[in-house]
Amino acid sequence: MTNQQNPGTSRREFIRNAAVVAIGGGLVAAACGNDDDAAPATATAAPTAAPATAAPTAAAPEIPPIKIGYVTPRTGPLAPFGEADTFVLGAMAAALGGNVEIADKDAESDPAKAGEVTAALIGEGADIVLAAGTPDISVPVAAACDLGEVPCLTSVAPWQAHYLGTGGGLGPDFPEPPVASEWNYHFFWGLEDIIGNFIELWNQAGVAKVVGGMWPNDPDGNAWSDPVVGFPPALEAAGFTVVDVGRFDLATQDYSAIISQFKDAGVEIVSGVVPPPVFATFQAQALQQGFNPPVMTMAKALLFPSAVETYPQGEGLSSEVWWTNRHPFSSSLTGQSAAELAAAFESATGAQWTQPLGFAHALFEVAVDAAKRAGSADKQALINAIGATNLDTVVGNINFSAFPIPNFAKTPLVSGQWVAGSKYPLELAINVNSGLPGVPKDADIVPIS
Amino acid sequence: MEWVNAIVQGILLGGLFALFATGLSLAFGVMRFGNLAHGDLAILAAFLAVSFASTLDVNPFVTMALVVPIMAAGGYVLQRFGFNWSIGADPLPSILVTFGLAVVIQNALLEQYSADSQGLDVGSFETRSIEFTDDIAVGWFPVLILGVAVVVLVGLQLFLSFTRMGRAFRATSDNPSTARLMGINDRNIYAVVMAIAFATVAVAGLFLGIRQTFGPTDGPAQLIFAFEAVVIGGLGSLWGTLLGGIILGVAQTVGNQVDVEYNVLSGPLFGHLIFLVVLAVRPSGLLGRSQQ
């Protein structure tokens, strides 16, 4: 009953977006016709982009005519993962020119919907599909692309969760891991990175080493609590006591059992991976029942300023950080540095920069780079070109042959805490930067009092 | 001690379930009308409160003064000029009509508000609590919900027992054609019942929206709990509905205490099991009038 979503809307949306692309392309084409020079055209069509943007586009080989499908959760509980999309799609439509057609679809934070819209994009003739925003989205999109034999590039899901979800195994095969999905390449960090980050973060805090784990029954929760590669064994090896409440269901309305379990065990660090609305309900009930641990380090729920500001108590919460406006990288497409990209986002939207911005941009960087090298929209040529990627992007170097698991590449990870800011109510302070020393460390984590 | 806490929290949670079930219980008790859109109506009320709270910039509790009358008026009109046509010996038309209404509400909400999760923010009141021991702290807000549920249910029961209108409700429920002979306009009675049902579900929806986040498609899940509370407590008995809600709430929190791992099953599972046992052993519910 819930998922018979109006195909009308998405079709309208598609036509509207296609029109935007066509108009953007038309502008560029018209300007090209006049000046016979692509550089000023790109600059005029992309007013939000920094002035330095045009040169790399002009110097690079032509992008072949290609249709790029783009799937992210724009609405629903995971909506903050798609917060930067409108800006990125607008900037891309302006920067890439008339040969590139972008069709975007909303996965509505629903794995079934994500698969459905991917199949629809493939049916509409997408040559390559990009997707991001938790394994709930990346896994079904990759599966649909595998079925349709269409090149697919995914991100923003820890590689283990994506790999396990798309059929890879971490068991006895591990030394020679199988290819999980022939048509899918994925880049992000892994559990080993976040575990290392969190342990370093919690050692700074100087609180009792008792960790309450909230790993729910979803692809992330199952991978993060895995008895081999997940948090529990690594934390115990590092001298922490783990109170794992089990794979609870995200539809739970009442967290009193979890809260009393944490209280009884003397938990001082709460960690886990839950969507923003779940954390909001949990924190309200925890405070109601007098449970306010000094350290709350959550993945997923505490990444986004827009979400953290709505929690009963946002200041002091901590999280992993995949991208900041201080990352020492710049875009291969527009030449913008991370700081310039974040500034362009802030001036265009009026909102604080958010981490998915860098990764949404990088997905297009990798796709366009591969399309240029492939020289056509031929699917086999495209997937081969993606596999041969070695590109410095705004989220770091992406090289699919540098990582032992086939079809995966890793980007660096740091960690931080939300503190009262000067420009915005809450800003990220970086506490752990061993994953990427190029990002300056601000301070040690300060326990919540 | 944690078991005591689980039971206390369960009783408080039961207040919300009971409030959800009130309208369903009343509509079923008086006119044998099973409203499948009941959960979606609660979500609709919560979304209305979100709109009013943001446009008027007021506390969500204040929006109750607008949302509850609007929903009540909507219930009256819908029953008087719509649902009344579907009432009869055959329960199927009303089920089909309200199922259709549920689909319409969900998709209208999706179109209007998108699939984003919404919440109603009442500030620090939501997190304030009274601490009895280290293990047992009772939030003011859950206490308020339970209090409102008790007041609403007791009030309705007194209304049915002691007022002229209440007598007309009962008379119509017992035998509509005889009631008509006595000069009671049964179509009007039905519409008033539905107005009360909509008003109570609006209150429940607002409380739900304050307690947790909600989306356009969260209604059916609420409907299941409401139905179970009605059936466990006894069809048509308001005291039974309160009891049924509390039993369900306690089943859920105690189930979670047993093992949170299976709580997609265990919390609700215990509730569903109790529901099935009651249905098998005492089909008319714990406090239900036995049907002839």
- The predicted-structure confidence for A176-209, as pLDDT tens digits, reads as follows 566 667 899 999 999 999 999 999 999 999 999 9
Evaluate if residue A51 carries a pLDDT over 60.
no
| Min Cα–Cα distance to chain A from B221, Å | 10
* Count of other CB atoms within 10 angstroms of residue B178: 11
Query: Is A426 a domain residue?
Result: yes
Per the model's pLDDT, the better-predicted residue between B69 and A182 turns out to be B69
The band of B267, judged by pLDDT with boundaries at 50, 70 and 90, is: low
Average pLDDT for chain A: 85
Q: Are residues A238 and A306 in the same domain?
A: yes
Q: Are residues A239 and A352 in the same domain?
A: no
Which residues 334-393 on chain A approach chain B with CB closer than 8 angstroms?
A: none
Going by C-alpha positions, the residue among A267, A294, A317, A319 that lies closest to residue A206 is: A294
Query: Is A149 a domain residue?
Result: yes
Q: Are residues A403 and A426 in the same domain?
A: no
Q: Are residues A41 and A116 in the same domain?
A: yes
Q: Are residues A252 and A370 in the same domain?
A: no
Query: Is A443 a domain residue?
Result: no
Average pLDDT for chain B: 87
- Coil, strand, or helix at residue A212? strand
Residues A288 and B143 sit within 8 Å (Cβ to Cβ): no
Query: Is A448 a domain residue?
Result: no
Which residues of chain A make contact with B106, given a CB cutoff of 8 A? 1-2
Query: Is A441 a domain residue?
Result: no
DSSP string, chain B: -HHHHHHHHHHHHHHHHHHHHHHHHHHHHHH----TTHHHHHHHHHHHHHHHHHHHT--HHHHHHHHHHHHHHHHHHHHHHTGGGG-SS-SHHHHHHHHHHHHHHHHHHHHHH-S--B----GGGGG-EEESSSS-EEEHHHHHHHHHHHHHHHHHHHHHHHSHHHHHHHHHHH-HHHHHHTT--HHHHHHHHHHHHHHHHHHHHHHHHHHS-B-TT-HHHHHHHHHHHHHHH-TT-HHHHHHHHHHHHHHHHHHHHH-GGGTTTHHHHHHHHHHHHHHHH-TT-SSPPPP-
A261 interface with B at CB cutoff 8 Å: yes
Token match 């931080």: residue?
A: A416
Share of chain A above pLDDT 90, in %: 63
How many separate domains does chain A show? 2
Please state the rounded mean pLDDT for residues B9-16: 92
Please state the rounded mean pLDDT for residues A155-164: 90
Query: Is A440 a domain residue?
Result: no
A434 interface with B at CB cutoff 8 Å: no
* Count of other CB atoms within 10 angstroms of residue B101: 19
The partner residue sitting opposite B127, judged by closest CB among A246, A256, A284, is A284
Buried b (16+ CB within 10 A) or exposed e, A218-231: bbbbbbbbbeebbb
Q: Are residues A149 and A196 in the same domain?
A: no
Query: Is A47 a domain residue?
Result: yes
In chain B, where are the structural domains located? 10-113+124-217
A86 interface with B at CB cutoff 8 Å: no
**Signed CA dihedral, A83, A135, A161, A2: sign only:** positive
Which residues of chain A make contact with B14, given a CB cutoff of 8 A? none
Residues A48 and A91 sit within 8 Å (Cβ to Cβ): yes
Q: What is the pLDDT of residue B276?
A: 85
Query: Is A219 a domain residue?
Result: yes
pLDDT in tens, A93-151: 999 878 899 999 999 889 999 999 999 999 999 999 999 999 999 999 999 999 999 99
Q: What is the pLDDT of residue A29?
A: 40
Q: Supply the CATH number for residue A83's domain.
A: 3.40.50.2300
Q: Which residue of B has its CA nearest to A9?
A: B111
Per mean pLDDT, which range of A335-344, B18-27, B177-186, B261-270 is the poorest?
A: B261-270
Which residues of chain A make contact with B107, given a CB cutoff of 8 A? 6
Q: Are residues A145 and A163 in the same domain?
A: yes
pLDDT in tens, B157-191: 999 999 999 999 999 988 888 999 989 998 999 99
Q: Are residues A157 and A229 in the same domain?
A: no
Query: Which residues partner with A241 through β-bridges?
Result: A210
Per the model's pLDDT, the better-predicted residue between A129 and B136 turns out to be A129
Query: Which tokens hold the place of B126?
Result: 């939501």
Q: Are residues A269 and A337 in the same domain?
A: no
A265 interface with B at CB cutoff 8 Å: no
Please state the rounded mean pLDDT for residues A297-326: 92
Residues A367 and A400 sit within 8 Å (Cβ to Cβ): no
Q: Are residues A278 and A341 in the same domain?
A: no
Q: Would you put residue A290 in left (φ > 0), alpha (ψ -120 to 50) or beta? A: left
| Min Cα–Cα distance to chain A from B265, Å | 9
Look up the domain containing A230 and give its range: 191-321+414-432
CA separation for the pair B29, B169 (Å, rounded): 9
Choose from A253, A267, A285 for mutation: most chain B CBs within 10 A: A253
- A17-21, A32-36, A126-130, range with greatest mean pLDDT: A126-130
Q: Which residue of B has its CA nearest to A2?
A: B217
Q: Are residues A59 and A44 in the same domain?
A: yes
Q: Are residues A303 and A342 in the same domain?
A: no
